[in-house]
Structure 1
Amino acid sequence: MTALAAIAPPHAVSRLRTERLARSAKPFLARGGPKGERCPGCRLVPSHCLCALRPALPTRAGMCLLMADIEPLKPSNTGWLIADVVADTYAFGWARTEVHPDLLALLADPQWQPYVVFPGEFVAPERVVHEVVVPRAGVELEPRKRPLFVLLDATWPEARKMFRKSPYLSHLPVLSLAPEQLSRYHLRRSNRTDHFCTSEVGALCLELAGELHAAQTLEAYLDVFTNHYLQAKHQLPVDDGDAVHQRLRDLRGPG
């Protein structure tokens, strides 16, 4: 099932991973697979490859992943899943002392309305918003800017540091999510149950932007990825006829 990985062009997170590996003084060793072998398209061991199930949907919303240093290298990173699903996904490595000029250009691009996604309890109230401006068909006289969600892809302590030490984000509205459900992510979990993995945050943002089908597809894709990852970890086969796989197939549609 790795054929798709061979022909699909690398997305933003994949390119960032390649750049990060090129700067490494020593190889990044992820556990699992014979001699650490992993599919370049989905980062899973070849026997549990996910590439044939990769969905790709057109969305009006965009995603900007600001990633802590080694996040692009981790097989369990779920920002990769967002880049799989949302075509307009951008990814940049974060550093305290410098900022990529392409990131500054993206945030200043007039087609986008950036929102920094971060808990409102840590932000001045005047910056916090809880909704995304979504144009309604047949009502708007001119198109509004497209929402661009800036996600801090890191552990919670790292994300707080990134938020505080990124002055180029300080003028942007902060989208504070207040979801009802608890995280279902089983690979790496925060001590706080109201913290979500990056892919879950992306799905919630898509839903707020009126992209319900894309949000549900990203959620289903995360469930399938988690299933494949954990089955590989425990050296168990994947049942591609189970409920999580069927839900993703239903949302992807024919093809």
Structure 2
Amino acid sequence: MDKVVATPADAVADIPDGASLAVGGFGLAGIPWFLIEALLEQGARELTVVSNNCGVDGAGLGLLLEQRRISRVIASYVGENKEFARQYLAGELTVELTPQGTLAERLRAGGSGIGAFFTPTGVGTMVSDGGLPWRYAVDGTVAAASPPKEVRTIQGREMLLEEAIVTDIALVRAAVADRAGNCVFHAAARNFNPVAAMAGRVTIVEAEHVVEVGELGPDTIHLPGVFVQRVVPLTAEQAERKSIEKRTVR
């Protein structure tokens, strides 16, 4: 099955208002730059975004945030995005902060058909006990907070129940993909892209290189094509776009 779509705009054209999105990347490493920008142009609003973070000011998911296109974020940290922090503290954005490893496992579980799982991460904190501010009121009080989670003793350890995440759409970036959607990721881009891809009911991949089916060795594939519905080939110039949050030199 040939899953190649000509352009990022074609790939995201049918994403509706109110859709939930799992978005790959770690900071700015491995984010789907051109799918995000195409979605910005497409105009979908009231989006729920599940991602390790929400980009930075002026880049990545930060672009959608600045245009008030995102209403809810499930992420592991606010990071370098000042507008993300401002909207959250001003009561303009719902934010569900989740431990980073838990977030990755919630996405993976969703893609694996597992409804929920138990983990020791967060036991004895507001993650398990409830009360994490999800949304603030304009006056700074907490308008909505996380509920308490079920805790059980399993194999002698207290563990809390975390629900899996399944989203309408997943947007990811691969180093190489074949025309059937089998994907290979490079370095830090492998942290969240595969699990984000698994969690989406419709998964769209922008790929730096697209090869024919059979060119990828089975043992080199990080994400099987069964999880992917659309593949967008990037131009050589687009494939070179790999910004980072901060450049540190000695």
TM-score surpassing 0.5? no
Task: Looking at secondary structure, tell me which structure has more helix per residue.
Answer: 1
Task: Looking at secondary structure, tell me which structure has more strand per residue.
Answer: 2
Q: TM-score range by the shorter chain?
A: under 0.3
